[in-house]
Amino acid sequence: MSVDQILVLGVNHKTAPVEVREKLAFPDIEVPLAKLGEVPGCTEFCFLSTCNRVEVIFTSATPEKTVRHIRSFLFADSNLGDEEATRYTYLYTGADAVNHLYRVAASLDSMVVGEPQILGQLKDAYREAYARQCTGTILNRLIHKAFSSAKRVRTETNIGSSAVSISYAAVELAKKIFGSLKNKKVLLVGAGEMAELAAEHLMSQGCTEITVANRTLKNAVTLAKQFNGKAVGLSEIIPQLELADIMISSTGAQDLILHHDDVKPIMRPRRNKPLFLIDIAVPRDLDPKLNEIDNIYLYDVDDLSQVVEMNKKDRQGEADKASAIVTEEAIKFSNWLDNLALTPTITALLGNAEQLRKTEVERTLATLDLSPKEIKAINKLTASLVNKMLHHPLIHLKAECHTQEKQEKIDHLRKMFSLDVRD
């Protein structure tokens, strides 16, 4: 397989707004993995879905046909036509696909450059794909090297120390609204990693009272205990909003959990005290119409990009160092893949040469009366001659060059030495 048969097709925060991305949300990873297994020409694949991106990393010997099927699958429930779907997606092939994946793993392609969550999400996605035997020799190597490349970035640069997460960006936005978060009351809806990170940042900024609401009360209790807070069920969101200053929502719900008409009546009991709502879920949890209510400030994940922009200059220098590491590691993988393509030809060439040597030596020895020591010397001599004769052809074959030129070398060598035609 050549590097050109590795592809990444996806949608992210740069190419599509949240109202499009939320239509591509897949709460159960088994479904997309099963569907991708049915796509013609899709030989190896991994499915990555986060709040800011949906990507399929795959290999195919018939890329054009496979890409059409994968794009159709991703947008099957979006009510968007093929032209619109194509406009919102990106496609990387070959070395560009390798480089893109490495950048994703190193958090260089994230909304918040340097945030650590994406690497864990990619590891989870790969673990699921590997467990279901969706990956093989190529993607196993590619993704593992993406992990080690990301580790190098964390070790050799300071991009992690100057990075912020989506949750941290949300807190920074809250500070702009309130000026200070000291003694503010917080309602977290959802008890996952995003909610936990938000709680950590909020507590560090002086928030003293945290309430966690979650569909599974046990999970809410577990998270609330970490911050000496209290836990409630999702049905208690409205009463809790009467008391809260800040609400951050990050559930995995497929529909809105809070509507305009739910919140408007509580503003009078609150005496119109400002309420900051941030929706970091995809699909969105909160009704966009909430922004129409006076003294309610609603932001979604796309709004966080403004906070991110403010920090870009500080991180750019470290990001440049990280990009150099990623490029170096991507080249190493491409070289490995090129050499992998050579293996069948080298094996066939050496095997044929050795078989020919043995045949001719045995035919000659049958006519001679030689001692074991003399026979050993002849075998050593002929093996040495074969190795020396093949040395330069193999050096020529292994020399660095473009993929197309390398394939031409392979084809010429196979024809020259009468090897079997490659599949």
Catalytic center residues:
51
The three-state (H, E, C) secondary structure of 190-259, written as one string? CCCHHHHHHHHHHHHCCCCEEEEEECCHHHHHHHHHHCCCEEEEHHHHHHHHCCCCEEEECCCCCCCCEC
d(CA 21, CA 11): 7
Phi then psi for residue 311, to 5 deg, are: -100, -5
* Joined tokens for residue 332: 């190493």
Q: Is 402 exposed, middle or buried (0-12, 13-18, 19+ CB in 10 A)?
A: exposed
Residue type, 276: F
Q: Residue 286 has which token pair?
A: 């909160």
DSSP letter, residue 421: P
Q: How far is CA 358 from CA 139, 349, 388, in A?
A: 39, 14, 16
What single-letter amino acid sits at 251?
T
The amino acid occupying position 252 is G
Q: Which two tokens stand for residue 2?
A: 């050549």
